[in-house]
Structure 1
């Protein structure tokens, strides 16, 4: 064995969330795959100090296309198995902008080319809105649904023609966004079944109970399909600590920029 190969075998892989975790005291707690799927980043946001960064989406961290598509496709196959082939043929897939737009496509592929729509934050002139909902923790809270086919989301109800709505996001953190979506769409087009799909389920025990109560309230079955589960442990004062860290990093970057300009 070469000296280079020996050195490569002894190199420790540093978790991509280490920098933020050490400075903010944030920790991911969950199954063995959780840290392979997620890292942490610092967030410039008045509501959250941290950002969960997926290692398999191909959005923020470079990843092989086969891994990106395969992650969503496998989840889609699991939804197909859950629903059964006949019910899967009536599934409509909705992905959340911006992070889960590609993931939603892959889930639809795994369902065998189910109709797919993703939300958008930008109105389009001449296109009528078919629905909308709020993502309270986001930088831009309002989502719009602008399907070319207005009937795509309208086939709810009961009977053989009723569709199953499959909602796809990269992470299921509190469940607020999904509950807001189902509540808004159920008021327009009630249906008997919804399936929530996410790479990771990071809800607390209280949030899990909230989904169960919500499903009973609307009289629909709500299933959940995820790849990994866990929680985020946040210390007291993490938001203030995060804001101070953002300010320090921005000041440092500004100083470097001024130094480069004067060189």
Structure 2
């Protein structure tokens, strides 16, 4: 903002000492000097990115400088029956009242907010994958989108911080092998929007499918994941036999707070030329 220069008013109109002998012609007013141009304030430079993560939405934080999105969650994998303690998994992270019985972690962050946070990093979503039975066999379409690394971060009982990919908590029930979940094995698929009818008003309601379906971060392929694993597996047992379980030897106790960190692997796009 430019500072306005202040003009000094010259109002020194000479009044004769003896009003009876005052000149009929008033004396000339002195001419004030021309004001010097006001020096502008220093113009602000480019906006600086805030250091560290900033809460963009409830339970969702964005670190623009580090190109990272993180959201709060808790370990959810818990056996429904003590007699059958294995927890078969179909999603990595779910939303409330959806797939808690088959999820590693549960988050109260909304799936569309995680989607929006990834947009803030400059990412463009792809599309979820699909798997279906066809006359010629099972048709599998892998998900598309920017490659992502997904990491769990949590506090151990002794207070030390730990981090690991989701695969560290998952194993094949039969072989004990862990799934390949290296950096880049997840993608920003972006889910999709769907429409339902409001039972009270009868109006059409559009919603973000991953929020309603609980497919915030997928493991099997439901077709509406916000963040999807590249490997295409059907949740239908008629198409693919369930193999992935929560590893009780490595998964922290249910209720353990977890930060789910998502980081794109592709470098940010180079800035374009300045406007002419």
TM-score higher than 0.5: no
TM-score normalised by length of structure 2: 0.23
TM-score normalised by length of structure 1: 0.24
Higher helix share: 1
